[in-house]
Amino acid sequence: MSTAHASTTEASTPKSAAAVVPQPEPGSCPTQATTPKRDLRAMWVSSVVNIDWPSKTGLTPQQQKDELIGWLDLAVKQRHNAVILQVRPTADAFWPSAYEPWSKYLTGTQGQNPGWDPLKFAVEQSHARNLELHAWFNPYRISMDTNVNALVPTHPARLHPDWVKAYGGKLYYNPGNPDARRQSVNAILDAVKKYDIDGVHFDDYFYPYPVAGQTFDDSAEYAKYGNGMSLADWRRNNVTTFIREVRAGIQKYRPQAQFGVSPFAIWRNKATDPEGSDTTAGAQTYDDLYADTRKWVKDELLDYITPQVYWSRGFAAADYEKVTDWWATQVTGTHVHLYIGQATYKVAQNADPKWSEPQELSSHLDFNTKYPQVQGNIYFSAVQVKADRLGATSLLNEKWYSRPALTPASPWLDDRRGAPRPPVVVKASGAKVTWVATPGATSYAIYRVPTAKPRPCDLADARNLVATVRDERGAVQQWTDPASGAGTYVVTAIDRVSNESAGTVAR
């Protein structure tokens, strides 16, 4: 919030006291599991090979903008509160980067300026809808084929061939090369410095998934930098070092932005390690991708983790219930939020007959209610959410997303160490609610309580939550209730890390 905004607000604040409703103490009020007050809801919008957006290369800037707005509007319709947008799919950029070329998934030609700044537009349009925008980066992948000559001549991979490894039909930066690692870190932090993003997001790609009969040849780098470690430990250390460096950069340049990873959901199987999950899945991130995801949680190197629990309940090799239970145990006692990655893409398209049942996806959220550690869900991917096969997404939304929700708070990222003060001079005239802006507020929550004298328990969950709106950078804020329902309005202020103030009753 600007200094001018804050000073204007304070000057406008009257001395008379408003009726304030304190936030209830945790666990002190009855709540409904289907209307959680805090619940991260998002979908992945994937740009690699034009999975979701843009739908194809070569669209005009306006067509690309219109498509992106369509996805953001869909998120609002789904009552989501965040979007995970892929902006660095293959060592390229969806913004004018100081380190890497424009992505070919925009124009069809790598390095060609699309005529607009997609990341800047995405941040502005997301925030206008009060959606968090998490920028999704791929750490090491350079291209989806092995033709290095197809890259623009100025591409870092062309200029530094010693940074590059071909494996499994793709090109990668070598995680064991310190210069290559710094290139990726710098490219990611370029976006962190320039844009008001709410989060930095990685998915499951670190060292590449193993390909039978092929070797990821990093023997020269291991000989040079291994420092007595085993090859596997050295590789894991390379990835964890990368994670630490990205986190340090986020904390330096945008300290209230979150850092999240969405790994393949199996850290290790119990047969491999007694600390592992009760699963028999083939891939294990610790051993195959050299990503020690459990360590990142225990060491609190992340603000959230979203394991891709892409299996049905009861699936033999990796039961959704057992995997979710394992992750809930891992985050217990940490400040790392646990969100579950949901396989919307598997509905009606999988050999597992469970995915032919419309209620399977919704049943995952039902199971999640057993675990207070589970604080939200992210769906792969946008086109699948929109397709709504078998009506599975609609069924899920009707039961679980009937009300808006706040994102889970991350108070450890708050330099003020506390919630903002309640709004002042909240007034209601029919369906129109107005209030004086709160210094430090990013957004506001509006509750419509059916009684004349709201109490703390009326704010305990989202049963009475009718809207969340972005601060409009003015001394006076307003919102009009489209439902015009009867009741008493209560407004709270929410800061950038989702701390919520007490509520002020409209008069």
> Which residues, including other chains, have CB under 8 Å from residue 193's CB and lie 6 or more apart?
253, 254
Contacts of 102 (CB under 8 A, 6+ apart): 92, 93, 94, 96, 110, 111, 112, 113, 114
Mean pLDDT of 282-301: 98
pLDDT tens sequence across 314-347: 999 999 999 999 999 999 999 999 999 999 999 9
First to last CA, the chain: 27
Q: How many helices (H) and strands (E) are present in the chain, helices listed first?
A: 13, 19
pLDDT at residue 506 in the model: 96
CA dihedral of 240, 413, 68, 52, whole degrees rounded to 10: 30
Q: Quick one: three-class SS letters along 59-114?
A: CCHHHHHHHHHHHHHHHHHCCCCEEEEEEECCCCECCCCCCCCECHHHHCCCCCCC
Q: How many CB atoms lie within 10 A of CB 484?
A: 10
Class of residue 486 by CB neighbours under 10 A (exposed 0-12, middle 13-18, buried 19+): exposed
173-202: average pLDDT: 98
ω into residue 381 within 30 of 0, thus cis?
A: yes
Instruction: Give me the half-sphere count of Cα atoms (radius 13 Å) on the Cβ side of residue 24.
Output: 15
**Which CATH number is associated with domain 40-142+176-411?**
3.20.20.80
**So what's the pLDDT on residue 16?**
46
Cβ 43 vs Cβ 80: under 8 Å: yes
Contact call for residues 188 and 197 (beta carbons, < 8 A): no
In this model, does residue 310 exceed pLDDT 50?
Answer: yes
Residue 416 has pLDDT above 90, yes or no: no
Q: Encode 297-332 in three state secondary structure.
A: HHCCCCCEECCECCCCCCCCCCCHHHHHHHHHHHHC
- 122-177: per-residue pLDDT in tens? 999 999 999 999 999 999 999 999 999 999 999 999 999 999 999 999 999 999 99
| Residue 324 · residue 374 · CB < 8 Å | yes
Rounded to whole angstroms, how far apart are CA atoms 447 and 444? 10
Q: 164 burial class (0-12, 13-18, 19+ CB within 10 angstroms)?
A: buried
Whole-angstrom distance, CA of residue 106 vs CA of residue 113: 9
pLDDT score, position 418: 86
Average pLDDT score over residue span 48-73: 98
CATH 2.60.40.10 location in the chain? 3-27+413-505
Q: What is the pLDDT of residue 9?
A: 34
Q: How far apart are CA 122 and CA 131, in angstroms?
A: 10
* Element (DSSP H or E) covering residue 12: helix 3-12
Q: Note the CATH number of domain 3-27+413-505.
A: 2.60.40.10
Phi, psi dihedral angles at 201 (to 5 degrees): -130, 130
Q: Is the pLDDT of residue 273 over 70?
A: yes
User: How do residues 370-410 score in pLDDT, each as one tens digit?
Assistant: 999 999 999 999 999 999 999 999 999 999 999 999 999 99
Q: What is the DSSP string of 195-254?
A: S--SEEEE-S-SSPPP-TT-----HHHHHHH-TT--HHHHHHHHHHHHHHHHHHHHHHH-
pLDDT at 415: 75
* Cβ 240 vs Cβ 298: under 8 Å: no
Mean pLDDT of 445-451: 97
Beta-bridge partner residues of 192? none
Close Cβ partners of 416 (under 8 Å, ≥ 6 residues apart): 440, 495
Mean per-residue pLDDT of the chain = 95
Calculate mean pLDDT across residues 362-371.
98
Which string of b and e fits 27-36 if b means at least 16 CB within 10 Å?
eeeeeeebbb
Q: Give 181-185 contacts, CB < 8 A, sequence gap 24+.
A: 181/238, 181/241, 181/242, 181/245, 182/245, 183/99, 183/156, 184/91, 184/139, 184/140, 184/242, 185/242, 185/245, 185/246, 185/249
What pLDDT does 349 receive?
86
Q: What is the pLDDT of residues 195-240, one digit of tens each?
A: 999 999 999 999 999 999 999 999 999 999 999 999 999 999 999 9
In the chain, CATH 3.20.20.80 sits at 40-142+176-411
